[in-house]
Amino acid sequence: MSRVRVATGARLHFGFGNLSLDHERLYGGLGVGLDAPRTVVTAEPADDVACAHDLGREYAERAVELLGVSGASVAVESTLPRHVGLGSGTQLALATLAAVARAHGCDPRARSRAPELGRAGRSGVGVAAFKRGGVVVDGGHPSEAFTPERPADGTWETPPVAIRRDVPEGWRFLLVVPEADVGRNGECEDESMRCVITDADPGVADRIAGVVLRRLLPALADGSAARFGAAVERIDRLNGRWYADEQSGIYREPVGTLVDFLSSEPSCFGVGQSSWGPCVYGVTDVDHADAARRAGEEALRSAGLDGEVRVVAGRNEGAEIVRT
């Protein structure tokens, strides 16, 4: 018998490269792997599936089925907050798959099996973060494969990683998660995305491509957190134009209020909304980390909100998988 522990970090999602069917490739996620907060799952072989965590049990049952093994005793030791913009579903799904697979001496093949767990249907950033971390731009899906209704799990492929770069050692990311309504998910998210794609201006995608090529990639090449922050904020705001009708503005509330406050803070080089929020991120560095944390706390106070504030490092490695 072997017991396996899998630990994986969160991710930020800065937006998509394209949401218009007028272009050849659809979606194309942009994001970064984070060292914290973390999802931690343990598993050991069993004759059936046992897991006290409801969603963890669903993923464990699916993993056992995909792997063709007898069963697993799974424990979810910690998870990311759900539907706030940190990639909780993908990280839990893949961590559970990897723990069950390694406990049985199998290769989890996380990239190829993610679609069968219902993941990577749009963005491939979460899978890429689980595999290798870093700053990621994925290649999206063929636009011709888009269907008005959600396709069955396993009928798509995880988007290829087009660009992957290490996060420079001195960079940090401010995370402000207010106590607010969770981001859109499930059927509600699917419906919103269909509406956005139907009406998306293809010109916005052209502008995002210019930001990626002329601002984001050069900032990564020379390690400039300030220029990288400005680039991802621009990408985030351009994405917000696509979503404006669905979330009543460039940013949903109370994200917009927090972003407005943090945009004037010198310690935050770029701010935005991760995925559907309500997580607000800020790009900073080790020299400005304490000031950025204080700014995040003040942003919540000024908005009359409770919530959690932390400053975390990027992650340049995949999930930790340890056999005990």
pLDDT, tens only, 34-76: 999 999 999 999 999 999 999 999 999 999 999 999 999 999 9
Average pLDDT over residues 89-116: 98
The per-residue pLDDT for 1 is: 60
- Output the DSSP codes for 92-126: HHHHHHHHHHHHTT----HHHHGGGGT--SS--HH
Domains of the chain: residue spans and CATH: 4-323 (3.30.230.120)
Alpha carbon distance 324, 318 (integer Å): 19
Q: Give the pLDDT band (50/70/90) at residue 324.
A: confident
Average pLDDT, the chain: 97
Residue 8 pLDDT > 90, yes or no? yes
Percent of the chain whose predicted confidence (pLDDT) is above 70: 100
Residue 113 pLDDT > 70, yes or no? yes
β-strands 49-50, 72-78 pairing: parallel
- pLDDT tens by residue, 268-301: 999 999 999 999 999 999 999 999 999 999 999 9
- Output the DSSP codes for 213-244: IIIIHHHHHHT-HHHHHHHHHHHHHHHHHHHH
Both tokens assigned to 27: 């979606």
Average pLDDT over residues 154-164: 97
Average pLDDT over residues 136-164: 96
Q: Which long-range contacts (CB under 8 A, 24 or more apart) does 246-250 make?
A: 246/184, 246/192, 246/195, 246/196, 247/276
pTM of the model: 0.97
The per-residue pLDDT for 230 is: 98
Residue 178 pLDDT > 80, yes or no? yes
Both tokens assigned to 13: 């999602």
Alpha carbon distance 111, 12 (integer Å): 19
Residue 262 pLDDT > 80, yes or no? yes
Q: Give strand pairing partners of 43.
A: 4, 74
